[in-house]
Chains A and B, each alone.
Chain A
Amino acid sequence: MTEAVVYLYQIGFSIGIFILVSLGLAIIFGMMRVINLAQGEFIMLGAYICLFTTQAGVNFWVAALIAGLGVGVFGIIVERVLIQFLYGRIMDTLLATWGLSLFMVGLVTTVFGPQEAGVEAQLGKVWVGDYSIPEYNLVLIAIAFLLLILTFCLWRFTRAGLIVRGTMQNPGMAAALGVNTRLCYMLTFGFGSALTGFAGAIIAPIIGNQPTMGSFYIAKAFITVISGGHLPLVGTLYASGLFGATDGIVSYFYTQVLGEIAVLLAAILLLRLLPQGITGYFRRGL
């Protein structure tokens, strides 16, 4: 019984991480078709903002929200300076954001140094039989699913969500109907960035902050969103479930690296069988 609970926790935690790191990318790549290779660095930035605000004495959860807002604003700046010139040139967005990623790593290393720095989130442990599970990790799982559900509701049930979806599908028509598409793209990119930054803050307490921490997550995020297919949110949920479970199980029994390799192999196999991704044959949804 306790064994089963621990497995379940491992898998849930792994799925939670997959959702957290890929949700922002699901908006930015899945909906806007912008390949943001600096996605990992957005996570890193969120973690660092969280680090400095907590060091300044701010409560961790407030700091996480500030990190989300901060990276959101940063994302809007990036959209204005770089991305807006590259819509429709998907390879070029990839290369430009890669440059951005190198730049950000370089900058953060220069300013704060390459060493690790941890964020503390004081929460206790839960005991399951002989196993201890950090309460924080359970909260993390809850937050991941909550974020996904909130984003889904925002897109599905609000007027703003409707306008954004319409614009992404047919910008010309949306513009003809009086939507400010430039603003819409800008804010959607900002929203995706904010989600990423918030995720970075939430992840910060479980691994140390490091300028290069983004590269740990970039592979996970892209595999998830690509395998998800053309419905970014539903696809992210399914892909996170599949890969999170794979990763959780393999990492638990073997090593983390093997977990990651298993995920990669699973993704390659999946794309051979379903080149359109998991939701390729779904007609509608989000």
Chain B
Amino acid sequence: MWSMIVLFGAPNAMPKWWWWCFVGLASLVGLIIPSFTGWDVHLDLSIIFIFGMLALSMGFLWGFGGMLSFGQTAFFGLGGYTYAVWGLNFEETTFAMTLAVALPMVVALVLGYFMIYGRISAIYFTVITLVVTIVLEKAIRATSDERFVIGDVWLRGQNGISTVPDLQIPWDPGETFFVTGVYYVAFILMVLSYVGLRLLLTTPFGRVLVGIRENERRSALLGYDARRYKLMAFVLAGGLAGLSGGMYGVWGNFVAPEMMNLNSAASVVIYVIVGGKATLIGPLVGTGIVQVLTAWLGTAGVGQVNLILGLVMIAFVMIFPQGVLPSIGLAILYCLRRVRGAARGGKRPAFAPTDTALRREE
């Protein structure tokens, strides 16, 4: 984490010019890619962008709010089902997508109120969000009976809903986004959420949130009501996860309880720890790496992807607890300082271990 700060500046500082250049360049590349590639690539990339938003919601909450929430997967599923149910009932998708963001936010608000205002410890928070995800999945699975309808839509239990409507163009509801259109929507939403969260960190809200992550007691002694800030962050992240879930429904015209089972929750954690949670770009990069890896494993004929993902997860926790990006950053920094230090005989770099803030909670 410190390596990233030293290399790229504090995450709370206003982004430098090169960051804007990077974002601009990346957007340009993202927008012209469809001109040179086929639908298969558009589909593969769209899903990375969609999962990227989900990873971003967890990475933001974990890295900058100090809250590891597995509820993101539950909000993801909730967003998907909300979009599907509203869209099928009313044959209208713009509001359905809005609702896919809003409903998870409301649920996050209620759930977060009980957990955050109850002042349960960080680890209990994590476990409770996990349990919520597990139970929600079970609840959806239990809806295979034809009694379980919302409006005209039968939830179909573990079979999922495979008739999720395409996303209509908001200003021209007669037309829908098709593969390439979905690609653009997913890409633009991902870039907007990344830039939005990055800028949010520079606002007083974001800076106070990081302060609370660093030391909740001190924040309270300065007059900040830490619970309010944490709850707001939780609600915001819940909305982003819901958006990602709605887009997932659009992408595959399909929602199912698997969206929120333990394996999906684990995947999101893996995206974030592979990319590292010290930066917001980390979760996005991690999503890309892991998605490409799993796709490759799938075609390489490894039967159980879980087996490999489990090992990847263990390896990262044990060996690169900071994730790929910060580890690379650390290596660069180390080399830089070695070169400079050798020239000057200067002082050795002093690195703090990884997430002191989280550990201090226990």
- Chains A and B touch each other in the complex, with CB atoms below 8 Å apart: yes
Chain A residues packing against B (C-beta within 8 Å):
33, 35, 82, 85-86, 88-92, 94-96, 98-107, 109-110, 215, 218-219, 222-223, 226, 255-257, 260-261, 264, 267-269, 271-273, 275
> Is the CB of B314 closer than 8 A to any CB of chain A?
yes
CA–CA, A261 and B120, complex, Å: 20
Contacts of A107 in B (CB 8 A): 304, 307
Contacts of B142 in A (CB 8 A): 255-257
Q: Mark B292-323, 1 if CB is under 8 A from A, else 0.
A: 00000000000111111111111101100100
Contacts of B115 in A (CB 8 A): 268, 271-272
CB distance from A109 to the nearest CB of B (A): 6
> Is the CB of B247 closer than 8 A to any CB of chain A?
no
Name B's interface SS.
helix
Q: Are B306 and A219 in contact (CB under 8 A)?
A: no
CB distance from A170 to the nearest CB of B (A): 16
Most chain A C-beta atoms within 10 Å of own C-beta, residue among B68, B135, B306: B306
Q: Are A271 and B128 in contact (CB under 8 A)?
A: yes
Q: Are B111 and A226 in contact (CB under 8 A)?
A: no
State the interface size on chain B (CB cutoff 8 A).
Answer: 49
Q: Mark B235-279, 1 if CB is under 8 A from A, else 0.
A: 000000000000000000000000001110010010001000000
Closest to B359 in A: A89
> Is the CB of B119 closer than 8 A to any CB of chain A?
yes
CA–CA, A268 and B142, complex, Å: 22
Q: Are A85 and B127 in contact (CB under 8 A)?
A: no
Closest to B313 in A: A99
Partner of B139, one of A102, A223, A261: A261
Q: Are B314 and A99 in contact (CB under 8 A)?
A: yes
> Is the CB of B205 closer than 8 A to any CB of chain A?
no
> Is the CB of B90 closer than 8 A to any CB of chain A?
no
Partner of B313, one of A33, A96, A256, A273: A96
Q: Are A264 and B132 in contact (CB under 8 A)?
A: yes
Q: Are B359 and A275 in contact (CB under 8 A)?
A: no
> Is the CB of B134 closer than 8 A to any CB of chain A?
yes
Closest to A95 in B: B317
Q: Are A110 and B313 in contact (CB under 8 A)?
A: no
Name A's interface SS.
helix
Which residues of chain B (101-151) have a CB below 8 Å from chain A?
111, 114-115, 117-120, 122-124, 126-128, 130-132, 134-135, 138-139, 141-142
Assuming the contacts A99-B314, A215-B262, asked whether A268 and B114 have C-beta atoms less than 8 A apart, the reply is: yes
Q: Are A102 and B131 in contact (CB under 8 A)?
A: no
CA–CA, A242 and B111, complex, Å: 21
CA–CA, A91 and B266, complex, Å: 14
CA–CA, A107 and B305, complex, Å: 10
CA–CA, A218 and B315, complex, Å: 23
Partner of A257, one of B139, B314, B317: B139
Contacts of A102 in B (CB 8 A): 263, 266, 306-307, 309-310, 313
> Is the CB of B40 closer than 8 A to any CB of chain A?
no
Contacts of B138 in A (CB 8 A): 257, 260
Q: Are B123 and A92 in contact (CB under 8 A)?
A: no
Q: Are A99 and B312 in contact (CB under 8 A)?
A: yes
CA–CA, A269 and B110, complex, Å: 12
CA–CA, A268 and B269, complex, Å: 23
Which 3 A-B pairs have CB atoms at the shortest separation, nearest pair first? A103-B310, A99-B313, A106-B307
> Is the CB of B358 closer than 8 A to any CB of chain A?
yes
CA–CA, A273 and B124, complex, Å: 14
> Is the CB of B362 closer than 8 A to any CB of chain A?
yes
Q: Are A272 and B114 in contact (CB under 8 A)?
A: yes
Most chain B C-beta atoms within 10 Å of own C-beta, residue among A96, A102, A269, A271: A102
Closest to B137 in A: A215
CB distance from B276 to the nearest CB of A (A): 13
Q: Are A222 and B123 in contact (CB under 8 A)?
A: no
Q: Are A98 and B266 in contact (CB under 8 A)?
A: yes
Contacts of B306 in A (CB 8 A): 102-103, 105-106, 109
Q: Are B118 and A275 in contact (CB under 8 A)?
A: yes
Contacts of A264 in B (CB 8 A): 131-132, 135
Assuming the contacts A107-B307, A271-B118, asked whether A82 and B314 have C-beta atoms less than 8 A apart, the reply is: yes
CA–CA, A218 and B132, complex, Å: 12
A-B contact pairs, 14 of them (CB 8 A): A35-B127, A82-B318, A96-B318, A98-B266, A99-B313, A100-B310, A101-B262, A102-B263, A110-B304, A219-B130, A261-B139, A269-B114, A272-B117, A275-B120
Assuming the contacts A110-B303, A261-B139, A272-B114, asked whether A95 and B359 have C-beta atoms less than 8 A apart, the reply is: no
Closest to B355 in A: A91
Assuming the contacts A99-B311, A261-B135, asked whether A222 and B273 have C-beta atoms less than 8 A apart, the reply is: no
Contacts of B266 in A (CB 8 A): 98-99, 102
Q: Are B307 and A103 in contact (CB under 8 A)?
A: yes
Q: Are B126 and A94 in contact (CB under 8 A)?
A: yes
Partner of B128, one of A89, A91, A215, A226: A226
Closest to A37 in B: B130
Contacts of A109 in B (CB 8 A): 303-304, 306
9 further interface pairs, Cβ-Cβ under 8 Å (given A102-B313, A275-B119): A94-B123, A99-B309, A105-B310, A106-B309, A109-B304, A219-B130, A226-B124, A261-B135, A272-B118
CA–CA, A162 and B132, complex, Å: 36
Partner of A91, one of B111, B305, B358: B358
Q: Are A219 and B131 in contact (CB under 8 A)?
A: yes
